[in-house]
Amino acid sequence: MKKIALGLLCLCACLTSVASAQDTAPVPPAADVAAPPAEIVAPPPAEVPAAPRADHETSCTGRRDEDGDGLVDCGDGDCLHDPACEAGQGAESTGEQCSDWIDNDGDDAIDCDDDDCENAPGCSGSWVPTANSEGGASPSGGALPQLGEGLGVQDLVGAAGDADGERSNELCSDGVDNDQDGRTDCADFGCRFDASITICMPTPGLRFSAVVGAGVTYNSSQQGNGVEVPALWDARFSRIQLRALGPIPFIHNSFFLINIRAERLVRLTFALFQIPVGTSGHYVNLNSGSGGLSASLIQSQAKQLLLDPVFFAYAPFEQGNGGAFEVGGPITSNDLLRYRVFAAAGSGQSNGNVGGRFFSSDDRNFTYGGGGQVQLNIAGHYDRLDTPYIYTPVPLTMAMTLGAKYDQRAAERYATGNFYFVGRYNRFHISADVFGKRELAFGASQLGYVVQAAFLIIPKRLLLAADWAQFRSTDFSNPGAANTAGIARPLDEDQFRAALHVYLFRNIALASIVYTHHIVEFNTSRPQDTVGEDIVRFEGQFRF
């Protein structure tokens, strides 16, 4: 046992000696210490190229623009022959049918241009009803929450459950509830009530209009000295009229119009901004000053029954101004009687062009004038800017207006009275515009009138029109004042015109032939001036 114990003691001593030697041994340098294995980093995944955009519309019913050309479904030419886009497959009256770019009922009118869509959501004109304490309805769909005092519908954006994630024309027309708030596209508050979103503005919204005419004329004339002038042929663009028009956003029954003419130079010729007063049909408008008692000089070129107004019968009575303010509306609740009053001003011989002035002399006198008019709707309802072109048989409309105004011009001052009558029934149209004027400084009286008539020979195809116009002036009883102002008595004139209009495509494209016989009083001081002319005019028009 002693031997065993002694052996164990020796073994322990040896182990202790070995451990002590290890604790005191030098540590090898770090370079000699084996490094842990390097971390393996996976290479980045190869970039997957984006799927190429389709080169044509792949679906004509998906409400998406697959080929990115800005046109969707049946509005894209790629879908022209798709069976889903064929006309005449059903009715056209619901919100979906009135916004699918299809002539569903086959009557040649698409979506909001179809009368059947008059009450469809999105086709209700410029009226966007505002919410009230009881909530209101909107053409874009859905009842509105109650709003506190002083709040408007614009305060609903980002509130009342709206996530404010749809506020661009792209997101508001993609058919997707992008912000997941339960309202899609134009039903979303951001799309409905943000004024910068144009895709959801109720029809008509901002619209562009053009009237383009080109043709050939043949003119045979005679001078006052009896000399026959060689016949003159000419071919040219006779008119290019560009118009922007539509409602002022979020103002019930508001309207604006900006008119540009391109002739010898491009110029802005007329502008009008009109807003309602109350809810009974009264309005105020600010315009560039043309017009006055007659609407003939401010109507679109597309509404000139003989292609152009009879300028010599209007110009002496309706001289342009720099700007005008007008108020009008119904006198009786049934619209039997209406009124309009206006005031206008300018400088020199203002021509009505926006920003433009014409001075024939050094006279820069301030010009001003004002007047009023009363209209009686004998049958139906007539508007002074209605078109005289009859495309299909029309119901009975009969109206007359009486008006008067005073003008203080740069070189003259005068009072003018006007009578206008218009009647339309079935295929007939007739109107008479009569002016009387008294020159207060020169002591002269002047009379001018234009009588127009039209008959629709074949509905949607052929319209016959004619007019007769005259201007007469008495001699000046105070020629001294006239000579001081540099104004001579205007010459008497007569004119007869007849036209045949062929509707080539609806009432948008027309081909016309117009004959004009024009006679001017002989001017003894200028015998070389033209006293008679016969003009034949062939013209094609496109207007929309």
In the chain, the largest separation of any two C-alpha atoms, in whole Å, equals: 169
How much is the average pLDDT of 421-448?
A: 95
Give the Cα separation of 308 and 296 in Å (integer).
9
pLDDT on residue 60 = 85
pLDDT on residue 44 = 54
pLDDT class of 348 with cuts at 50, 70, 90? low
Element (H, E) at 485: helix 479-485
pLDDT on residue 65 = 76
Which of residues 111 and 394 earns the better pLDDT score?
394
SS3 content of the chain, % helix, strand, coil (to 5): 15, 35, 50
Q: Which amino acid is at 468?
A: W
The helix/strand/coil state of 245 is strand
How much is the average pLDDT of 87-115?
A: 78
Query: Among 28-42, 57-71, 84-98, where is mean pLDDT lowest?
Result: 28-42
Neighbours of 414 (CB within 10 A): 22
In contact, 444 and 477? CB cutoff 8 Å = yes
Q: Which residue has the tokens 């697959």?
A: 66
- Statement: residue 385 has pLDDT above 60: yes
- Statement: residue 29 has pLDDT above 50: no
pLDDT on residue 211 = 93
Highest mean pLDDT among 173-187, 347-361, 495-509: 495-509
How much is the average pLDDT of 62-76?
A: 76
- Statement: residue 84 has pLDDT above 80: yes
pLDDT on residue 16 = 43
Highest mean pLDDT among 49-53, 452-456, 526-530: 452-456
Give the Cα separation of 21 and 27 in Å (integer).
13
Give the Cα separation of 420 and 503 in Å (integer).
28
- Statement: residue 276 has pLDDT above 60: yes
499-527 burial code (b ≥16 CB/10 A, e <16): bebebeeebeebebebbbebbbbeeeeee
pLDDT on residue 21 = 42
Which of residues 86 and 482 earns the better pLDDT score?
86
Query: Counting beta carbons within 10 angstroms of the beta carbon of residue 36, is it exposed (0 to 12), middle (13 to 18) or buried (19 or more)?
Result: exposed
> Which residue, 105, 100, 109, is CA-closest to 87?
105
Give the Cα separation of 80 and 72 in Å (integer).
12
Which of residues 122 and 56 earns the better pLDDT score?
56
Query: Among 21-25, 123-127, 453-457, where is mean pLDDT lowest?
Result: 21-25
Encode 407-457 in three state secondary structure.
Answer: EECCCCEEEEEEEEEEEEEECEEEEEEEEEEEECCCCEEEEEEEEEEEEEE
Instruction: Count the residues in the chain.
Output: 544
pLDDT class of 379 with cuts at 50, 70, 90? very high
User: Which superfamily does 207-543 belong to?
Assistant: Porin (2.40.160.10)
Tens-digit pLDDT profile for residues 114-124: 777 766 666 65
- Statement: residue 504 has pLDDT above 80: yes
- The phi and psi torsions of 390 (rounded to 5 degrees) equal -100, 125
- Statement: residue 140 has pLDDT above 50: no
Tokens of 437: 């004027």
pLDDT on residue 176 = 75
Highest mean pLDDT among 274-283, 344-353, 532-541: 532-541
Beta bridge partners of 80: none
- Statement: residue 24 has pLDDT above 60: no
Give the Cα separation of 305 and 416 in Å (integer).
25
pLDDT class of 49 with cuts at 50, 70, 90? low
Which of residues 271 and 48 earns the better pLDDT score?
271
Q: What is the DSSP letter of 86?
A: -
The full set of domain ranges for the chain reads 207-543
Q: Taking all residues of the chain, what is their mean pLDDT, rounded to a whole number?
A: 80
How much is the average pLDDT of 88-114?
A: 79
How much is the average pLDDT of 512-540?
A: 94
In contact, 494 and 519? CB cutoff 8 Å = yes
- Statement: residue 25 has pLDDT above 80: no
- Statement: residue 235 has pLDDT above 90: yes
> Which residue, 401, 394, 379, is CA-closest to 296?
401
pLDDT class of 27 with cuts at 50, 70, 90? very low
pLDDT class of 203 with cuts at 50, 70, 90? low
- Give the distance, in angstroms, between the CA of residue 295 and the centroid of all CA atoms in the same chain: 18
Of all residues in the chain, the percent with pLDDT exceeding 90 is: 38
Tens-digit pLDDT profile for residues 318-341: 988 888 999 999 999 888 999 999
Query: Among 225-239, 251-265, 421-435, 457-471, where is mean pLDDT lowest?
Result: 251-265
How much is the average pLDDT of 350-374?
A: 74
pLDDT on residue 122 = 60
pLDDT class of 18 with cuts at 50, 70, 90? very low
pLDDT on residue 364 = 65
pLDDT on residue 173 = 72
> Which residue, 421, 503, 514, is CA-closest to 461?
503
Which of residues 450 and 133 earns the better pLDDT score?
450
Of all residues in the chain, the percent with pLDDT exceeding 70 is: 80
How much is the average pLDDT of 8-23?
A: 42
The helix/strand/coil state of 207 is strand
CA angle centred on 47, ends 46 and 49, rounded to 5°: 135
pLDDT class of 478 with cuts at 50, 70, 90? confident
The helix/strand/coil state of 471 is strand
pLDDT on residue 191 = 82
Query: Among 128-142, 216-230, 277-291, 515-529, where is mean pLDDT lowest?
Result: 128-142
pLDDT class of 135 with cuts at 50, 70, 90? very low
- The phi and psi torsions of 211 (rounded to 5 degrees) equal -130, 120
Please give the torsion angle defined by the CA atoms of residues 156, 158, 161 and 167, in that order, rounded to the nearest 10 degrees: 90
Give the Cα separation of 159 and 405 in Å (integer).
53
Cβ-Cβ contacts under 8 Å for 43 (sequence gap 6 or more): none
Query: Among 248-262, 365-379, 441-455, where is mean pLDDT lowest?
Result: 248-262
